[in-house]
């Protein structure tokens, strides 16, 4: 027996096989986004005719490497890292010491650049490199890489080109990085571009031959970049984390606190941190070389240096930010009662804030089941917000969670409200994504984010209905990028 909006039941059934799902997904993956252009990714080197026998990757370098964000916990499977797990690009997974063109790297200070064919808002970019003892004749796995990135660049939710989201073109800024001092010869660099407004990241591998000298005549080796990107506030802390291989060294790590707004300006906190490193009088330094060859801090971008006896191969910056005490989010105009019409209604309110924040508003019924959801950006203003709901009359709650792009500001608020009026009569089997592993052809689900009911399509695409995770939502009914491959709106 089916039931209406106020109830749900468990389902029994089984999903189609994972191999079938993987091949079906690959055949439908047609969205193009971007690739590493400097130095060229393995796929882009195919387009440049530096690599041969690449399959479709030669024509689609921008499509290669899309996989769930969150490497190394998520992302493409071991053995399929170059292809992103997409069978269409499996030729890129072939691995041997002579299979791919190697870009010569003559300077450890390197600038990475991407070309975007559909530039999404971006969270960050990370760069990983293979270990000193990796085997170039084995398929690439996580064990081949140092899983701490040797370089990280924050995106702050911005668009990485000179233009609007969805546009195409070269990166507006290159990423200044320093390759670890102990890497020489043949290596693979994995670039991970994490998209801010989807569940995806893009993974590109670059085949390189590192010929850069390990150290200067006086024994100093470049081991990292101190590149300030955004202002900090009093109470924030910035730390230079030293790594000896994949392990952090407490002895050679340094941190400074920000004591004033002036000190929090990017060029000033960079200078303060570099001064702190040098004042320790250890075999590490931060700054730039002057005419005499002395390493001195400057107000701006500095470079980390280390001598061999320190064992330091890499530096990473870590910023710990406090909430701005002047920041606020006020919630107004939440009514005690909202009226449903055949199970559907709208919860409206007003938000006031002096920060640029992204707000997620979720309505839950008395059983804490989600019955409405919306996500909206509010740019330091007063703005209306409304949530479409599908539910039955009764007690409900409204949960608001907001955050700024840099992660500094976090606001939460819970409001109690009551839904009255007429309950809905449309039937469904489950509230999505409850029990998703059991979804099969004919299963009907309520999508609480838009209040619509969807039915799972027949085999052979019914297996898509059972595919869900917080980082892979392309088949989410009515919401995902490919939802209509799996579902029909009722």
CATH, residue 153:
2.70.50.50
Model confidence pLDDT, tens digit, residues 97-149: 999 999 999 888 899 999 999 888 899 999 999 999 999 999 999 999 999 99
In three-state secondary structure terms, 426 is coil
For residue 26, give the H/E element and its range.
Answer: helix 18-28
Residue 32 has pLDDT above 60, yes or no: no
The pair of structure tokens assigned to 114 is 């991407």
Together in a domain, 128 and 272: yes
The pair of structure tokens assigned to 14 is 């089984």
Model confidence pLDDT, tens digit, residues 285-310: 999 988 788 899 999 989 999 998 99
Together in a domain, 201 and 280: yes
**How does DSSP classify residue 218?**
T
Residue 20: pLDDT band (50, 70, 90) is: very low
Model confidence pLDDT, tens digit, residues 63-99: 899 999 999 999 999 999 999 999 999 999 999 999 9
Together in a domain, 205 and 114: yes
The last residue of one of the domains, among 293, 320, 347, is 320
- Decide if 59 is inside a domain: yes
- Cα–Cα distance measured from residue 464 to residue 139, given in angstroms and rounded to the nearest whole number: 28
The pair of structure tokens assigned to 356 is 């640029």
> In the predicted model, what is the mean pLDDT of residues 182-192?
94
Together in a domain, 192 and 227: yes
- Cα–Cα distance measured from residue 52 to residue 457, given in angstroms and rounded to the nearest whole number: 40
Residue 435: pLDDT band (50, 70, 90) is: confident
> In the predicted model, what is the mean pLDDT of residues 17-39?
53
Residue 461 has pLDDT above 50, yes or no: yes
Together in a domain, 262 and 405: no
Together in a domain, 262 and 344: no
Together in a domain, 211 and 315: yes
- Decide if 237 is inside a domain: yes
Residue with tokens 């007063």: 382
Residue 369: pLDDT band (50, 70, 90) is: confident
Residue 471: its pLDDT value, please? Answer: 66
Together in a domain, 308 and 334: no
Q: Are 258 and 236 in contact (CB under 8 A)?
A: yes
For residue 255, give the H/E element and its range.
Answer: strand 247-257
Together in a domain, 239 and 289: yes
Q: What is the CATH number of the domain that holds 377?
A: 2.60.40.2550
- Cα–Cα distance measured from residue 488 to residue 490, given in angstroms and rounded to the nearest whole number: 6
- Decide if 471 is inside a domain: no
- Decide if 310 is inside a domain: yes
Residue 215: pLDDT band (50, 70, 90) is: low
Together in a domain, 194 and 157: yes
- Cα–Cα distance measured from residue 320 to residue 346, given in angstroms and rounded to the nearest whole number: 39
- Decide if 404 is inside a domain: yes
Residue with tokens 């971007």: 34
- Decide if 488 is inside a domain: no
- Cα–Cα distance measured from residue 309 to residue 286, given in angstroms and rounded to the nearest whole number: 16
- Name 470's Cβ contacts closer than 8 Å, sequence gap at least 6: 199
Together in a domain, 59 and 93: yes
| CB-neighbour burial class of residue 463 (10 A; exposed 0-12, middle 13-18, buried 19+) | buried
Task: Please tell me the total count of domains within the chain.
Answer: 2
Model confidence pLDDT, tens digit, residues 232-246: 989 999 999 999 877
Residue 425: its pLDDT value, please? Answer: 64
Together in a domain, 274 and 333: no
The pair of structure tokens assigned to 254 is 């340094």
408: domain range? Answer: 329-421
Residue 2: pLDDT band (50, 70, 90) is: very low
- Decide if 475 is inside a domain: no
Residue 385: pLDDT band (50, 70, 90) is: very high
The last residue of one of the domains, among 298, 320, 342, is 320
- Name 453's Cβ contacts closer than 8 Å, sequence gap at least 6: 426, 427, 428, 444, 445, 446, 447, 489, 490
- Decide if 453 is inside a domain: no
Q: Are 313 and 245 in contact (CB under 8 A)?
A: yes
When the pLDDT of each residue in the chain is averaged and rounded to a whole number, the result is 87
The last residue of one of the domains, among 390, 421, 452, is 421
């Amino acid at each position: 027996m089916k039931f209406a909006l106020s109830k749900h039941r468990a389902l029994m059934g089984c999903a189609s096989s994972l191999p079938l799902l993987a091949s079906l997904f690959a055949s439908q993956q047609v969205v193009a986004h971007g690739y590493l252009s400097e130095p060229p990714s393995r796929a882009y080197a195919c387009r440049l005719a530096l690599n041969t026998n690449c399959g479709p990757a030669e024509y689609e370098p921008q499509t290669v490497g899309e996989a769930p964000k969150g490497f190394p916990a998520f992302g493409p499977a071991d053995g399929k890292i170059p292809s992103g797990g997409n069978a269409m690009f499996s030729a890129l997974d072939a691995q041997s010491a002579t299979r791919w063109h190697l870009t010569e790297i003559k300077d450890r200070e390197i600038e990475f650049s991407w070309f975007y064919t559909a530039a999404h808002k971006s969270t960050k970019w990370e760069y990983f490199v293979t270990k000193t003892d990796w085997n170039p004749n084995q398929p690439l796995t996580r064990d081949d890489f140092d899983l701490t990135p040797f370089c990280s660049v924050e995106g702050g939710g911005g668009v990485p080109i000179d233009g609007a989201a969805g546009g195409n073109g070269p990166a507006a800024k290159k990423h200044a990085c320093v390759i670890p001092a102990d890497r020489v010869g043949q290596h693979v660099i994995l670039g991970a571009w994490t998209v801010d407004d989807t569940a995806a990241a893009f993974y590109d591998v670059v085949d390189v031959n590192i010929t850069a000298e390990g150290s200067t005549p006086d024994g100093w080796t470049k081991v990292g970049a101190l590149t300030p990107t955004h202002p900090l506030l009093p109470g924030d802390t910035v730390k230079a984390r030293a790594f000896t291989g994949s392990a952090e060294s407490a002895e050679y790590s340094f941190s400074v606190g920000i004591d004033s707004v002036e000190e929090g300006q990017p060029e000033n906190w960079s200078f303060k941190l570099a001064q702190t490193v040098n004042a320790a009088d250890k075999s590490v330094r931060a700054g730039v070389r002057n005419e005499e060859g002395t390493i001195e801090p400057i107000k701006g971008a500095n470079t980390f240096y280390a001598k061999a006896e320190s064992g330091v191969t890499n530096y990473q910056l870590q910023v710990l930010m406090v909430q701005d005490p002047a920041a606020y989010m006020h919630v107004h105009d939440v009514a005690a009662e909202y009226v449903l019409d055949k199970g559907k209604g709208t919860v409206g309110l007003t938000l006031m804030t002096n920060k640029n924040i992204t707000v997620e508003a979720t309505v839950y019924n008395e059983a804490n089941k989600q019955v409405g959801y919306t996500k909206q950006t509010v740019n330091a203003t007063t703005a209306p917000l409304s949530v479409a709901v599908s539910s039955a009359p009764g007690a409900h709650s409204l949960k608001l969670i907001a955050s700024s792009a840099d992660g500094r500001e976090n606001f939460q608020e819970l409001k109690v409200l009551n839904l009255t009026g007429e309950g809905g009569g449309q039937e469904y089997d489950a509230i999505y994504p409850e029990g998703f592993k059991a979804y099969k052809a004919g299963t009907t689900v309520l999508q609480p984010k838009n209040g619509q009911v969807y039915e799972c399509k027949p085999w052979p695409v019914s297996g898509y209905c059972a595919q869900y995770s917080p980082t892979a939502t392309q088949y989410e009914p009515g919401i995902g990028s490919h939802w209509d491959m799996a579902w029909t709106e009722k």
